[in-house]
Amino acid sequence: MGTFEALVALGFVVLFHEFGHFVVAKACGISVEVFSLGFGTKIFKKTYQNTEYTLSLIPLGGYVSLQQEGKGGYLSKSLWQKSLILLGGPLFNFLLAFLLYTALALMPQERLEPIVGQVLPNMPAANHLKAGDRILSLNNTPIQSFEDLQKAVRNAPHLAVLLWLQRGATTLNLPLTLKEMPAKDAFNQPTTIKVLGIKPTNKTFYFHYTPLQALEHALTQCAQLIALTYQGLLKLVEGVLPLSNVSSVVGIVDFLAKQSGLEIWFLSVGFISINLGLLNLLPIPLLDGGQLVLLWIERLVKHTLSAKQIQALNALGLAFLLALLGLGLFNDLATMFAKPA
């Protein structure tokens, strides 16, 4: 993917976020005054059913302008309707990732056969498994691919496991004790992983999910990535992860531009969409999460903030977001210039 395609992909993710606000607002009976593809000078516009659809000069995302006053205005709606409208954008970001991962799961998946290619010395498999053994199950978990075996080993509740395998025409069951090895987690923090001590052959096959399995797989994948992103944000706040991990639009576009292959592209765009959704749920003024928190605080304390108070909070939120953007831009540029020519 080139830089232009990466910009278009990022713009689509942001636009899909705004489309979420648009759809929920319409469902709540709110008049949408403007739905814009892009920002800046309007180069094309068409009004349909009281909504002005525009194409603007800068194609990075878009925005939705809702009617505020009157019967069909945002301010006339209930707390729950306002909350749903604010949540619409982030939820549509999660929906986009889910759709991408479902589409990816419905494609033929190339997997490694669960066949032992090499047995590593001083490992649990030594003196038990042989090259050519086909793994059938681990602790009653069916194994269809080598990736399934890795997952089953990693998630085994205990070190002691029961392995079923096929050796030639014979089916064997072997009790083994897995070994724990030091490793690094997704945040480069020290952890331990369970290992069996084998390597696969280079034999592959194509695996097909059923539609229901594809939906389940995509849902699980989204849930895992949401949890991973949330943990990453917490570790940034706690200082476990350095601030050098913060990235900006420049870094995101650069990351997307380097992706090749439909599978990696779908995974990357879905992950960025999830990140955008979670970022907008943060309780920071100007973001959806910040506006949602203010809505509920006003209801709980039964006091409506004045225009000046909201303006001051928005200014603080803008300052924070600009500082975050500046930090991300600094990190991205420092990384780019640090690369060897």
Q: Which of 149-163, 168-182, 190-204, 249-263 has the lowest mean pLDDT?
A: 249-263
> Which of the two residues, 56 and 62, has the higher pLDDT score?
56
pLDDT for 45 equals 87
- Summarised one tens digit per residue, pLDDT across range 286-318 is 888 988 998 888 888 887 777 788 888 888 888
How many other β-carbons are positioned within 10 Å of the β-carbon of residue 6?
21
| Residue 188: pLDDT band with limits 50, 70, 90 | confident
Could you list the active site residues?
A: 18
What class does CATH assign to 110-207? mainly beta
pLDDT for 264 equals 81
What is the mean predicted confidence (pLDDT) over 170-178? 92
Where is 251: in which H helix or E strand? helix 249-257
What is the pTM for the complete model shown?
0.83
| Residue 195: pLDDT band with limits 50, 70, 90 | very high
pLDDT for 341 equals 46
The number of helices, as runs of H, and strands, as runs of E, in the chain is: 8, 12
How far is CA 93 from each of CA 18, 89, 246, 290, rounded to the nearest angstrom? 9, 6, 20, 17
Which tokens in the block code for residue 293?
């928190």
Q: Look up residue 40 and give its amino acid.
A: G
Q: Which of 49-58, 113-122, 179-188, 327-336 has the lowest mean pLDDT?
A: 327-336
Q: Reduce the DSSP state of residue 41 to 3 states and report it.
A: strand
Where are the domain boundaries for CATH 2.30.42.10 in the chain?
110-207
